[in-house]
Amino acid sequence: MSNPDDVVVVDARRLLCPMPVIRVQNAAKKLSPGARIKAICTDPGALNDIPAWSRINGHKIIEITSKDDEHIIILEVGEQ
């Protein structure tokens, strides 16, 4: 298991659906269970798409925050 302090940042700003979730998916494929991904998005659709994709694929949403036009979604990679 990876150290939870190690976070892979996925910069999906200025990308529209479905690109933010695809970028997160590609990052998750390269990581071990327990690793964390911090997705930074400007598409508000990512607030639904990434959590839905996470549930379907066994990942866990840790935190979702929004400030101004940026949305940050932190998830923990599950078993793949």
Residue 55 sits in which domain range? Answer: 7-76
Indicate yes or no: pTM above 0.85. Answer: yes
- CATH number, domain with residue 47: 3.30.110.40
Question: 8, 17, 22, 62: which one is catalytic?
Answer: 17
Domain count, the chain: 1
Pairwise CA distance, residues 52 & 15, whole Å: 18
64 lies in some domain: yes
Find out whether 80 and 46 touch, Cβ atoms under 8 Å.
no
46 lies in some domain: yes
> In the numeric block, which tokens belong to residue 76?
């923990």
The question of whether 17 is a catalytic residue gets the answer yes
Residues 25-76: pLDDT tens digits?
A: 999 999 999 999 999 999 999 999 999 999 999 999 999 999 999 999 999 9
Pairwise CA distance, residues 21 & 1, whole Å: 23
1 lies in some domain: no
